[in-house]
Structure 1
Amino acid sequence: MQNSAAAVRPDRSVLWITIIAASATASLAMGIRQTYGLLLLPLATESGVAPWAFGLAVALHNLVWGLAQPVSGAMADRYGSGRVMAAGGIFYVLGCGLPALFPSNATVLIGIGLLSGIGVASAGTGLALAAVGRVAPPEKRGEYIGIASAGGSLGQAAMVPLVFGAIGWIGATGALATLAVSALLIIPIARNIEWKPTPRVGPPSAGLRGLPALARSALADRDFALLTGGFFACGFQLAFLTTHLPSHIALCGMPASIGMTALMLVGLFNIPGSWFCGWLSSRIRPENGLGWIYLARTVAIAIFAYTTPTEWGTIVFAAVMGFVWLGTVPLTSTAIARRFGVANLGALYGVCFFSHQIGGFLGAGSGALLMETVGNYNAFWPVMLVVGLLASALNWMTKSPDPRTAVA
């Protein structure tokens, strides 16, 4: 597992084309799913889609994303990220288009839950940042991954007001159709991202056939297992907030526009936050940074949940959470690359990310269940705090790679 598989150093034009295209594709893929929380109540009013069905669809989306991420990552490692990301764009178009044309509980579950889950696994941040990591020079890898991650956050900020406006103008199904059309752009952009495997020295990537053995070997590494366990909290906390924060804000008596503003601010503040965490990952041990991120999130959630809700308090909470929202991604990617190299970075990130998405499934699904049964989210906040503190502890328990076996 510790064999080096360093990328052949490209010229700067190739590097920056990859970064820009990866940022654009990740912007679309991650920005689309960031808007799902805005659609929960409007789809119920407009088309009779039950809140439990939409909440379950988003939970299923997270689980399918987690299941598909190691597979798409292994395929990208072997055949090139661009081809897999273009296929992901097709899945995303179908996933948003199906419930837009035929809105029902079943089509939401199939489209949002299954098809768009495969779409974001194939076209989202995981493959985009793995492609950047393979073409970046080792000494700057974390920083360039952070730049791409920050660029990928632009879509999360831009798509939220777009969909909020579309809901008011053409309805929830029209907004879903807008998302489907937006996903079409992923296909041509992906052509500029590692369309063929990056030339490397060292052993080739394991590919799809070698994925089970690769996963077993990586999870046998104590520190990779701790890193993977901590990533559960990231998915648990963020999926709940993405899906249910607008509804929680509405239940607190604040206008729907505050929910939209909160999600938009998350995306905006994620831009400098992702860049900063990528920059930081080249200067400190990434696992230490992850522990502090989980602690900062948990403190912010505790203050937000147990103080009187106000519009300004919600805006400050969204800004703080946004700054540490996806900072975990460049830090986690860099931590994996330092231990195992970049030949199997997509697959190994996918293995780690599966834990993230189990958390996402439980976070979104439990919130939907609470909303359906008791009509509020009060019982969920203490669980969010415990999970966040546990993630901090797991990351701080990891040890640095042995300098004799660590890879660049």
Structure 2
Amino acid sequence: MNTTRNWQTPVLVVLCGGILLGLSMGMRNVQSLFMLPMISERGWTREQFGLAIALQNIVWGLSQPLMGMIADRFGSVRVLLAGSALYAVGLYLEATAGSIASLNLGAGLLIGLALSGTAFATVYGAVSRIAAPAQRSWALGMTGAIGGLCQFAIVPITHGLMGALGWAAALVVIALLFVAAAPTSFALQDQLQEPPAAGQSMSSAIRAAFSHRGFWLLNAGFLACGFQLAFISNHLPAYLMDKGMQPGVAVTALAIILLTNIVGTYYCGYLGGKYSCKYLLSGLYLIRSAAIAAFIWLPISPTTVYLFAALMGLTWLGTVPLTNGIVSQVFGMKYLATLFGFVFFGHQLGAFFGVWLGAHMFDATHSYHAVWMIAIALGLLASLLHLPIDDRQMDFAKPLAA
């Protein structure tokens, strides 16, 4: 491990990082289970609920670079602790929301800020810095796998809490889980032992990234990822119920996505240490588009739903360690959280449109078909955009071209 702390073992780091990541992303992924009971009780529309979750995604994207800068300069622990606290408060406000404004504040603004402090950029940035170079791909893959296991567990836990206590009390209980998990942040005390590349400061790293064509191609490709994942995780349960499926089919499908995500994320991290990340990403987006196309064109049944969920799960969050790998490979480790935060804005811009457009077009047309088609097209485009990325390490000592 790239650290002087003897207690900070590889197993402890990836375990605690996986728990925080899994709890954060798991709660985001099950927001769709709350949509129908919440709008039914409050008298809201799908678009109103969808706009709050879309706001969550865009706030996450906008605040991620800032959270990354704080983590890079002052360490990840402060950011993780603040993010856990914001998540707990946001869930409580969502549970007690009596108006759309309150819903937007809790589920939108606060949880969006919380995600920027507890999810990929902060956790993967800390793990990348703590892990020795030879262990880095393994550590990222294992952190993602443990996170995936926690995300999987959140689905039946949330479903059980909603059945036993109701949707509002379930949100409060999960808020308390964030309070209980917050101390695991201390295992991710990161400290880069190696100096940054010659001539590299935060401002020079940002300028270099913004002048790099591959950086913007990575951003554009990540937009497709955000659109697909946010649309599916937030609208798949409602889509299946509209098609006559029982509620249990949707819950099982989400669980399958998150279960197979464990395998997919681990192996994507593992393969990213052996093969070109950009070609792996191109292949993942191609597989996703093919899976979506088959799903919407084949007759729907529990079997096709579960097969679709399994295929999507294998590619679900595997894009993140691979994208993180390209950023660190090209621009180095020192400002990884900051630069990944900027790339992640593309992901969250796509997520905003995936959630909001899905709800808006359904309310307008009573169908999700057009949004599925957009998801296919974006996946194909992302597959092509990754191919020309120049993933060679950048020389920061060399002046930037005008």
Which deviates more from structure 2 when the two are superposed, residues 168-177 or residues 62-71? 168-177
Q: 1:404 to 1:247 in 2, by over 3 A?
A: same
Which deviates more from structure 2 when the two are superposed, residues 73-82 or residues 397-406? 397-406
Q: CA deviation at 1:203?
A: 5.9
Counterpart of 1:266 in structure 2 is 257
Provide, for residues 240-274 of structure 1, a one-character-per-residue CA deviation record: whole Å limited to 9, x for no partner.
00110000000010001111111111111010110
Among 112, 127, 134, the alignment partner of 1:132 is: 127
Among 279, 290, 315, the alignment partner of 1:288 is: 279
Provide, for residues 2-53 of structure 1, a one-character-per-residue CA deviation record: whole Å limited to 9, x for no partner.
xxxx956876953332211111111111111111011110101223343222
Counterpart of 2:382 in structure 1 is 391
Q: Find the aligned partners of 2:71 and 2:314 in 1 and give their Cα distance.
A: 29
- 3-state SS in 1 of match to 2:9: helix
Mapped pair 1:371 → 2:366: no
Mapped pair 1:199 → 2:193: yes
Counterpart of 2:400 in structure 1 is none
TM-score (norm 1): 0.92
Q: CA deviation at 1:79?
A: 0.9
Provide, for residues 140-160 of structure 1, a one-character-per-residue CA deviation record: whole Å limited to 9, x for no partner.
312211111111112211111
Counterpart of 1:178 in structure 2 is 173
1:315-334 equivalences in 2 (<5 Å): 315-334=306-325
Count of paired positions: 397
Contact (CA 8 Å) 1:89, 1:184: kept in 2 or not? yes
> What letter corresponds to residue 200 of structure 1 in structure 2?
E
1:32-181 equivalences in 2 (<5 Å): 32-181=27-176
Counterpart of 1:297 in structure 2 is 288
Q: Find the aligned partners of 1:37 and 1:140 in 2 and give their Cα distance.
A: 36
- 3-state SS in 2 of match to 1:82: helix
Q: Find the aligned partners of 1:69 and 1:221 in 2 and give their Cα distance.
A: 20
Q: Find the aligned partners of 1:49 and 1:197 in 2 and give their Cα distance.
A: 47
Contact (CA 8 Å) 1:129, 1:145: kept in 2 or not? yes
Contact (CA 8 Å) 2:21, 2:123: kept in 1 or not? yes
Q: CA deviation at 1:230?
A: 0.7
- 3-state SS in 2 of match to 1:200: coil
> What letter corresponds to residue 55 of structure 1 in structure 2?
G
CA-based RMSD of the aligned residues comes to 2.2
Contact (CA 8 Å) 1:79, 1:197: kept in 2 or not? no
Counterpart of 2:243 in structure 1 is 252
Q: 1:87 to 1:405 in 2, by over 3 A?
A: closer
Unpaired runs of 5+ residues, structure 1, are: 1-5
Contact (CA 8 Å) 2:127, 2:139: kept in 1 or not? yes
- 3-state SS in 1 of match to 2:386: helix
Q: Find the aligned partners of 2:8 and 2:114 in 1 and give their Cα distance.
A: 28
Identity %: 35
Q: 1:364 to 1:102 in 2, by over 3 A?
A: closer
Unpaired runs of 5+ residues, structure 2, are: 398-402
Counterpart of 2:184 in structure 1 is 189
TM-score (norm 2): 0.93
Counterpart of 2:342 in structure 1 is 351
Contact (CA 8 Å) 1:59, 1:362: kept in 2 or not? yes
